[in-house]
Amino acid sequence: MSAATATLTPTPTAPAVTVRPVSFARTVHAEWIKFWTVRSTWWTLAATVVVMAGIAALAAWGTASGIDGEPLQPMSLVALMTSGKSLAELTVAVLGVLAITGEYSTGMIRSTFAAGPRRTPVLAAKAVVLSVAVVATTAIGMALSTVTTLPWKDTLGAGLDLGDSEQLRILVGFPLYLMAVGLLSLAIGALLRRTAGAVASVLGLLLVIETVFMMVPLRFFELVSPFLPATAGSRLLMDADTIAAMDAAKDAAHLTPWQGYGVLVAWVVVLGTLAAVLLRRRDA
């Protein structure tokens, strides 16, 4: 009697998986990948560049067309490069909101917090990624603004003097200002967690509330208006004559350009800290 001999086939072993601890650098890398894989990021940043370059060209064309043969005082190229500030800050504000509310709307925020359970480093990583993207985009927009204004450069006498401290301040301050607006919007988005509500709140703060405070002739509004985020921060982008005219118009706090930017940064820090605290306490 012969017995059948069974042949045992060894079970293949799964490859070893190396689990690495969560670090801030890896969190930033993950947020960087997510940031650039969202279609709205590309559209918003592209709109920012187009707005900056387009408004600069329109400003140069309009100024040159209104000369009527009169001699024109040479103007700063920086003034043309930053002429799209009002529209650029709106696109950056929307981007800042979408950087976090987009994950809440899709539910991806749960996976994000599962990978980074401490949550606060996740918000900080989003802030780092957003800051780098906004500064780089603003630099590209300013460069393209210079190119689009070239046809009117000689007519306007537009020049750039990096030895002029005022021009240098505005040149450096523009990316810093838009970065702060983006971070302010990110903080509001983290607080409200809904895209529509956060966008409405940011635009309402930057446009409606600040405009009302500047226009209403009541002492309370005059005293508070200089400390609103955009009103204070935008002083970084004003020349000395404009700042002097504004200060002479109202008897209120007279902030220097960098003091005004400091007020804007204070808004970002306060709202960002509040957002980080609530992020740890609330469910995703």
Q: Report the alpha-carbon distance of residue 149 to residue 83 in Å, rounded.
A: 12
Q: Looking at residue 282, what is its pLDDT?
A: 82
In angstroms, the CA 242 to CA 35 distance is: 38
DSSP string of the chain?
A: --PPPPPPPPPPPPPP-PPPPP-HHHHHHHHHHHHHHSHHHHHHHHHHHHHHHHHHHHHHHHHHHT-TT------BHHHHHTTTHHHHHHHHHHHHHHHHHHHHHHTHHHHHHHHSTT-HHHHHHHHHHHHHHHHHHHHHHHHHHHHHTGGGHHHHT-B--TT-HHHHHHHHHHHHHHHHHHHHHHHHHHHH--HHHHHHHHHIIIIIIHHHHHHS--HHHHHHGGGSHHHHHGGGGS-HHHHHHHHHHS-S----HHHHHHHHHHHHHHHHHHHHHHHHHS--
The single-letter code of the amino acid at 240 is: A
Give the type of residue at 242. T
Give, in degrees to the nearest 5, the angle at Cα 272 between 269 and 273. 85
Closest CA to 44 of 94, 105, 106: 94
Residue 59's pLDDT band (cuts 50, 70, 90): confident
Rounded Cα distance between 117 and 4, Å, is 56
> Is residue 78 within 8 Å of residue 170, measured between CB atoms?
yes
Predicted confidence at residue 71, as pLDDT, reads 44
Better-scored residue on pLDDT, 119 or 273: 273
Q: What is the pTM of this model?
A: 0.89
Q: Which residue from 262, 277, 192, 185 is spatially nearest to 227, judged by alpha carbons?
A: 262
> Measured between alpha carbons, how far is 113 from 283 in angstroms, rounded to an integer?
10
Q: How confident is the model at residue 67 (pLDDT cuts 50, 70, 90)?
A: low
- Within 8 A by CB and 6+ apart from 256, the residues are 235
> pLDDT digits over 124-178, tens only?
999 999 999 999 999 999 999 999 988 888 878 777 777 888 999 999 999 999 9
Lowest mean per-residue pLDDT among 25-29, 73-77, 212-216, 227-231: 73-77
CB neighbours of residue 196 within 10 Å: 11
CA–CA distance, 266 with 254 (Å, rounded to integer): 17
Please state whether 251 falls in left (phi above 0), alpha (psi between -120 and 50) or beta. Answer: beta
Look at residues 174, 96, 104 and name the one whose alpha carbon lies nearest to residue 128.
96
**pLDDT tens sequence across 94-128:** 999 999 999 988 888 888 888 877 889 999 999 99
